[in-house]
Every structure is written in structure tokens, then in C-alpha cells.
């Protein structure tokens, strides 16, 4: 069998040793020292595929130009893709961030029907039982929802909580050796539209996990297993803060009522 190339099949040559294990028994491959062209390389590939009984190769002693073109294109495209994947940094392929998608107004009450009230001087939120005409003290929040390219949680949704009519946002950061809840002023709200998972801005994000109809827990995105909570007592002296879910005398489930 002969092929259109400057490659020939012979026995017992030093150049063919590396290829002999891949050829049918009794055949060896010698690459001549003539100038090598892309057609020669393609011919060699086709010859090898025929000897191996490869699929998709035109049978016979000759091949068409379109066969050569297909081999070259497939090789070029495949190599391009492999190089891109190998050269891309691992972080760029797996980079996960939080992107804001929507925002709506809401108010929050705990499982004892206590409402969040802003204590401006202390820059704290307290949970109070409001009656009669005192409902205007209830804090209204702007709740922003987020998505990630690769979902981190399947049953929870990242959210940010801002005090309506202000630049104050709830955040969770470590103070006194434990995660605590804070009210922080955000001068540039554009910073909250897209947040990198490794960014310190993650302190403004909480995972809202629904446990019933409009009933949710709010877990810190930066400190997992720490939840926004209110005090079980009615004295109103303790602020809304963070706790671990099993903490005694703390309430971690809330009704989040949407207003628009």
C-alpha cells in the first residue's frame, strides 16, 4: 500500500522504533528527511488512522483535498481549545461573584411579632412590640436580591438589607472575637451591585432561607452558621444581633413582609 507523501513503511529502522508499537505486527514506520509540509503531516495522520482502522477516515489509496482540510481544521480547533483551558488561571474559570438583580421594600417581624425599630443615637436595631399608633416606628427596609454564576446555595438566596431613606445597611463583621451585627453607612451604593466572593463587601450579604410562607432565617454570608436574631425577652434593651442557631433565648426566624 502506498500513500501520497514522502513517508514510507519499511522494516527495522532506528527512526521507526518510537512508532513500531502503534503499528500492526510486521510493519514499521520511517520518516524521511525530506522537507516536511502540512500535507505530509496530514498524510501521516491519515496513514496511521487507516492502519489502526480509525473511524471517519476515507478508505482507499488516495484522499481528497476536503479530507486534508477537515484534518487540519479539526487539529487546529482542538489545539486552540486545549491551550485556552490549560492557560486560563483556575480562579478565572471558577470565579464566583454576587450580582444584584432586584430590590423591593419590606418590613421584618420576629416569631414573637416584635418589629425592628431603629435606635438612631446608638446606631442599632431593636425588636419591639408596637401597638396602636406606634406602628410608624417600624423600620422599612430595601431588600436587594442577588444571584451567582455558580449557585453556592440551592435553598437560600443572597440578599442585602438597607434602611429605606438612608445609606445605612446591615452588615456582619467580627467584633470582640465574635461576629456581630452592625449598621454601616454606604456612601456609594454602586459598590453593592456586584460583589466578589473574596471581597470584604460580603459582610453586607445574608443568605435568606425560607422555612415557611414568608418565614425566613438570615444567615451571614461571611460567617456561616451565624444568624440575625432578636432577644426572646420583651424588655427591648438588647439589640438585633448575630447568634448561632442553637443559642438559647434568641429568635432566628422572621416574617419578611413585602410592601410593593
The yes-or-no verdict on residue 231 having pLDDT over 70 is yes
Alpha-carbon gap, residue 14 to 30, rounded angstroms: 8
Q: Name the burial class of residue 135, with classes exposed (0-12), middle (13-18) and buried (19+) by CB atoms within 10 angstroms of its CB.
A: exposed
Q: Which residues of 170-193 are buried (b: 16+ CB within 10 A; e: fewer)?
A: bbbbeeeeebbbbbeebeeeeebe
Give the residue among 131, 192, 137 at the shortest CA–CA distance from 167.
Answer: 192
The answer as to whether 180 is a domain residue is yes
Percent pLDDT > 70 in the chain is: 63
DSSP 60: S
The answer as to whether 10 is a domain residue is no
Domain with 223 in it: 97-258
Please write the tens of the pLDDT for every residue from 10-47.
Answer: 344 444 455 555 555 665 655 555 556 666 676 777 76
pLDDT at 3: 41
Whole-model pTM? 0.63
pLDDT at 28: 60
The answer as to whether 176 is a domain residue is yes
The answer as to whether 122 is a domain residue is yes
Alpha-carbon gap, residue 208 to 238, rounded angstroms: 23
Strand duo 254-258 + 97-110: pairing? antiparallel
Alpha-carbon gap, residue 249 to 176, rounded angstroms: 21
Please write the tens of the pLDDT for every residue from 124-149.
Answer: 999 999 887 788 899 999 999 999 87
The answer as to whether 19 is a domain residue is no
The yes-or-no verdict on residue 184 having pLDDT over 90 is yes
The answer as to whether 182 is a domain residue is yes
C-alpha cell at 72: 487540519
Q: How many CB atoms lie within 10 A of CB 84?
A: 9
C-alpha cell at 68: 486534508
pLDDT at 50: 65
The answer as to whether 102 is a domain residue is yes
Alpha-carbon gap, residue 156 to 175, rounded angstroms: 26
The answer as to whether 89 is a domain residue is no
Q: Name the burial class of residue 86, with classes exposed (0-12), middle (13-18) and buried (19+) by CB atoms within 10 angstroms of its CB.
A: exposed
Total domains present in the chain? 1
Alpha-carbon gap, residue 108 to 254, rounded angstroms: 6
Using CA atoms, how far residue 134 sits from 114, 126, 127, 162, 240, in Å, is 12, 14, 13, 22, 19
- Residues with Cβ within 8 Å of 258's Cβ and at least 6 positions away in sequence, in order, are 104, 105, 106
Tell me the CATH number at 143. Answer: 2.80.10.50
Amino acid at each position: 500500500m502506498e500513500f501520497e507523501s514522502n513517508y514510507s513503511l519499511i522494516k527495522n529502522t532506528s527512526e521507526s522504533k518510537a512508532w513500531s508499537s502503534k503499528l500492526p505486527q510486521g510493519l514499521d514506520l520511517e520518516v524521511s528527511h525530506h522537507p516536511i509540509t502540512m500535507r505530509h503531516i496530514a498524510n501521516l495522520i491519515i496513514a496511521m488512522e487507516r492502519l489502526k482502522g480509525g473511524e471517519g477516515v476515507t478508505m482507499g489509496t488516495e484522499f481528497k483535498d476536503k479530507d486534508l482540510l477537515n484534518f487540519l481544521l479539526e487539529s487546529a480547533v482542538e489545539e486552540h481549545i486545549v491551550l485556552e483551558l490549560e492557560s486560563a488561571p483556575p480562579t478565572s474559570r471558577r470565579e464566583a461573584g454576587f450580582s444584584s438583580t432586584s430590590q423591593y421594600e419590606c418590613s421584618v417581624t420576629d416569631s414573637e411579632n416584635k418589629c425592628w425599630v431603629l435606635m438612631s443615637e446608638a446606631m442599632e436595631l431593636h425588636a419591639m412590640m408596637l401597638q396602636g399608633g406606634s406602628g410608624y416606628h417600624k423600620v422599612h427596609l430595601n431588600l436587594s436580591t442577588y444571584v451567582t454564576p455558580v449557585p453556592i446555595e440551592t435553598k437560600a438566596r443572597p440578599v442585602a438589607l438597607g434602611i429605606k431613606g438612608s445609606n445605612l445597611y446591615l452588615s456582619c463583621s467580627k467584633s470582640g472575637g465574635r461576629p456581630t451585627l452592625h449598621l454601616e453607612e454606604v456612601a456609594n451604593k454602586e459598590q453593592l451591585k456586584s460583589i466578589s466572593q473574596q471581597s470584604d463587601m460580603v459582610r453586607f450579604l445574608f443568605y435568606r432561607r425560607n422555612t415557611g410562607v414568608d418565614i425566613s432565617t438570615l444567615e451571614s454570608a461571611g460567617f456561616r452558621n451565624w444568624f440575625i436574631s432578636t432577644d426572646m425577652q420583651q424588655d427591648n434593651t438588647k439589640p438585633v444581633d448575630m447568634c448561632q442557631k442553637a443559642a438559647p433565648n434568641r429568635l432566628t426566624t422572621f416574617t419578611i413582609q413585602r410592601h410593593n
